[in-house]
Chains A and B, each alone.
Chain A
Amino acid sequence: MTSVTSGSISGRQPQAVRSALAILEEVAAAGVGITAKEISTALRIPPATTYRLLNLLVAEEYLVRLPDLGGFALGRRSANLAPSSVAAPTAARQVMRRLRERVRWGAHLVAFDRHRLTFLDPDPDHPPTDADELSRHPHASGLGRLLLAEHGLPDGPLTRLTPRTVVDRDELAGRLDEVRATGLARQCGEFHATLGCLAVAVRAPDDGRLVAGLALTGPAERVAAPNTELVDLLHTHAGDLAPLLA
């Protein structure tokens, strides 16, 4: 216990804080997989101190240990230190404007940042639901289901937002299989009782990873109809957006 817990760090130890920040910077610069020994050598911090600071940074979730337990990477919490500004390129905005001219529903473009949604180009005439709200309940929205189809069901309980929300895990898994098969996520009155949406994925042309989602929102009962033309329109525009966003 001596080397690990006895040295608690107080505000009177500027060197410890400086070292912790240097370690964060080192991990960010070196990329995923740097080991404690490498950090200690590179920064000339004594090994025992390095291990203690690394454990602290892992406990606070600024760093994570990789599955081999020896390597480190930046944790999601580090993203809070430098929020990335998200904005759609002008060319992508033009694609969205063309789409909005052809449909009467709200057309939104979101970016998928790990398990979070961020609006790149929300429809100004049809303000969408708050992005955080959407990120919290991905099972109930079309855009969220695109994300779940990619990463699997969430671990936590599924909240019932309206009487029509699918909260049964098996049923939801079935819906996600459909999304994977058709490339279309459809939701009618599951997030807001009166609204529904159609969503398709925007994938990188080279490796096919999910980068963004394109959604149309409209009245729930009209979303439930086949809407073949609208779906085709969505797929073509998603295809146009792919090289601009990936």
Chain B
Amino acid sequence: MNYRGPFRVRIDEKPHPKIEHPEDAIVKVLRSCICGSDLHIYHGMVPDTRVGTTFGHEFVGVVEEIGPEVTKLKVGDKVIVPFNISCGKCAFCKQELYGNCHESNPQATAVGGIFGYSHTAGGFDGGQAEYARVPYANVGPTIIPEGMDLDDAVLLTDVVPTGYQAAEMGGIKLGDTVVVFGAGPIGIMAAKCAWLFGAGRVIVIDNVNYRLEFAKNYSQCEAYNYEEIGDPVEFLKKATDWLGADVCIDAVGCEAGGQGMQTITGRKLMLQAGSATALQWAINSVKKGGIVSIVGVYGPTGNLVPIGNVVNKGITIRANQASVKRLLPRLIEHVQAGRLNPKGIITHRIPLENVAEAYRIFSDKLDNCIKTVLIPPTVRT
């Protein structure tokens, strides 16, 4: 996969990745996904996204080559590759903040290295390819348990951990009302995971009806179209005895619709780091003293949010990139026990060669698309 500019990607032959660091591994990709956050770089919204970059931070594969310092993997191992690149040694990795590694991104300090996510996230090529270079192979990659479906495994690289951490950061107490903004794959997974923490009521808000219908069935929750309920904040207040939700989760990020001013200044004119509508609604819908959990991706500059309301309502905001390595053991248990069914959200399996169509389908929400998996040609033959 080769990025050529906003809304333009294609398949090209690129040199086979090489071992560039003693802890590198080269992985032959078996499955990769297009993530909702890939759309932000596909749309040209993330600074320092260079032409020629291969996207893809959700992938699983088989280890084909290892560097001299790799001790925990061997050639032939099938691995889940977390989307974050983490050294395991820095102060932040030691705190299990694997999404905030300080030894994987020279270009920016606010974000750790991420596969295929612009030079702002380290300039690494990603896994929407036949082969990928995986740094720190002793730390991130986790061997796929025997019997686990590859389609389940590939969703453990990002979607499931991010959805789970969104719920976890909500500090959900038994019986809490949890509102999730966004019915994309992450929002659907966050709603599903909210139950694991004991939520009493889970509500998903979006404006795409087929996704709301999917969320309702998959996540066993309530789902509402914000275009049909009037002011969503007022609607949610009314639905929660006029107090607000205990926990609100922003699973949308910088390309939210729903409010003209945010859309114009954030998405059209790019005067702020994306449209912060979901975050605004989350802050205004949560109860006093409630928690807003943010996993939606925003740009590095600034956003217009009602920070005064955060102060006046005493809201706690918790946010981070998912710490995939920390969460994987527990999430694998959930999948194996049948409590989570990640592959249930996959609606499209598309040959890697058709990556441009795959991006268009996901970006424009065509053909009732929820989640797209790309399958390289070498795996299909």
A binds B: no
- Chain B interface (Cβ < 8 Å from any Cβ of A): none
Hey, which bits of chain A sit against chain B, CB under 8 A? Answer: none
